């Protein structure tokens, strides 16, 4: 297996195999029942868990470490033309579903923020007018006398005490309605220029940040938690009956689409000028191919194959 000739034959085998596969009908390459049986095997929860675990344990930390060291903005990955098309896509009407907006204005967090903001605004506004009246009234102008000014401040303090429970009572009964109106207003204006500009500004902010910015909080504990989530979710999805049914249905649709087509036609590669980098693939896979052929199992298989060929030759003679 040493020398240039075996390597060249391996490259030629790659090229001939690729051309042959593209010209072969799909139904000769894939059998529906066998493909579904293979899919069922890969949908086994234990197998999926075992395959996911090394990725989470070994690959994910390495990737996180690389991203944490990447301080370059994401926009470097988007050329100017791509950024322009992204902005055009964000301006498309109907891009944001109303349910997303309603979800933002729902829940205890939204109610707490709105309550705090409205409470401060209503309290400030409710005492603004009395304070102005006090300043322009004779009582306010006589404040330099001491007793009149103290009386005015006392009146305002008492007014605040009376107003505060009324504000809280109003907010307790009105927060839900205010949030609902805010959601309706936002949805009604969702494709206005200001909303489109907001979407574009938000995306511009996102791509202006580096990978390290987005995973700043991804410590070892969080990575472990996310690994557990991936493992548990993968097992759960594999156990869902609709998962297997969905994969089978997808295979049926794919094979139905490919009926009567060669692999090249089904993949829209027939007549294409784009080809696999055969030379590079052959060069990269040559060491592994030599190792496999040199294994005891491969040697045993080739010896048995040679014996069968000799036996067949003798029968033919």
Report if residue 113 sits inside a domain. Answer: yes
pLDDT at 13: 93
pLDDT at 252: 95
Q: Which residue has the higher pLDDT, 317 or 73?
A: 73
User: How far is CA 7 from its chain centroid?
Assistant: 42
Report if residue 242 sits inside a domain. Answer: no
Among 135, 164, 185, the domain boundary falls at 185
Mean pLDDT of 97-114: 81
Q: Which domain holds residue 128?
A: 101-185
Distance CA 142, CA 156 (A): 16
Total residue count of the chain as it appears in this document: 317
Stated pTM of the model:
0.63
Report if residue 117 sits inside a domain. Answer: yes
| Number of domains comprising the chain | 2
Among 162, 185, 208, the domain boundary falls at 185
Tokens of 275: 């080809």
**8 Å CB contact between 163 and 78:** no
Report if residue 34 sits inside a domain. Answer: no
Report if residue 167 sits inside a domain. Answer: yes
Report if residue 227 sits inside a domain. Answer: no
226-254 pLDDT, tens digit each: 888 888 888 899 999 899 999 999 999 99
Report if residue 65 sits inside a domain. Answer: no
**8 Å CB contact between 52 and 231:** yes
Q: Could you write out the DSSP letters of every residue in the chain?
A: --SHHHHHHHHHHHHHHHHHHHHSBHHHH--HHHHHHHHHHHT-HHHHHHHHHHIIIIIHHHHHHHHHT--S-GGGGS-HHHHHHHHHHHTSTT-S-HHHHHHHT-SHHHHHHHHHHHHHHHHHHHHHHHHHHHHHSHHHHGGGGSHHHHHHHHHHHHHHHHHHHHHHHHHHHHHHHHHHHHHHHHHHTTTSHHHHHHHHHHHHHHHTS-HHHHTTT--HHHHHHHHHHHHHHHHHHHH-HHHHHHHHHHHHHHHHHTTT-BHHHHTT-TT-S----HHHHHHHHHHHHHHHHTSHHHHHHHHHHHHHHHHHHHHH-
Among 185, 203, 226, the domain boundary falls at 185
Least confident of 134-143, 225-234, 272-281, 297-306: 134-143
Report if residue 106 sits inside a domain. Answer: yes
**Does 262 have pLDDT greater than 70?**
yes
13-35 pLDDT, tens digit each: 999 998 899 999 999 999 999 99
57-93 pLDDT, tens digit each: 788 788 888 888 999 999 999 998 999 999 889 888 8
pLDDT at 270: 75
């Amino acid at each position: 297996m040493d020398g240039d000739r075996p390597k060249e034959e391996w490259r030629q085998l790659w090229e001939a195999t690729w051309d042959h596969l593209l010209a072969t009908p799909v139904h000769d390459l894939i059998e529906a029942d066998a493909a579904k049986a293979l899919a069922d095997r890969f949908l086994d929860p234990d197998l999926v868990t075992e395959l996911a675990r090394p990725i989470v344990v070994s690959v994910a930390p390495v990737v996180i470490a690389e991203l944490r060291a990447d301080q370059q903005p994401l926009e470097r990955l988007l050329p100017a033309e791509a950024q322009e098309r992204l902005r055009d896509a964000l301006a498309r009407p109907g891009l944001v579903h109303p349910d997303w907006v309603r979800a933002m204005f729902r829940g205890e967090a939204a109610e707490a923020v709105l309550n705090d903001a409205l409470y401060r605004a209503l309290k400030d506004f409710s005492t603004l007018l009395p304070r102005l009246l006090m300043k322009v009234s004779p009582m306010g102008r006589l404040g330099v006398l001491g007793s009149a000014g103290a009386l005015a401040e006392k009146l305002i303090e008492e007014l605040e005490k009376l107003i505060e429970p009324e504000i809280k009572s109003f907010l307790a009964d009105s927060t839900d309605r205010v949030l609902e109106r805010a959601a309706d207003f936002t949805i009604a204006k969702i494709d206005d220029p200001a909303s489109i500009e907001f979407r574009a500004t938000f995306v511009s902010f996102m791509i202006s940040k580096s990978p390290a910015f987005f995973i700043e909080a991804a410590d070892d504990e969080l990575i472990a938690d996310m690994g557990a989530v991936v493992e548990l979710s993968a097992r759960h999805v594999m156990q869902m009956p609709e998962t297997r049914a969905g994969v089978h249905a997808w295979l049926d649709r794919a094979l139905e689409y490919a009926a009567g087509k060669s692999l090249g036609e089904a993949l829209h590669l027939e007549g294409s000028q784009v080809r696999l980098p055969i030379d590079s693939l052959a060069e990269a896979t040559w060491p592994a191919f030599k190792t496999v052929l040199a294994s005891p199992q491969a040697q045993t298989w080739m010896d048995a194959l040679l014996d069968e060929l000799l036996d067949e030759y003798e029968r033919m003679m």
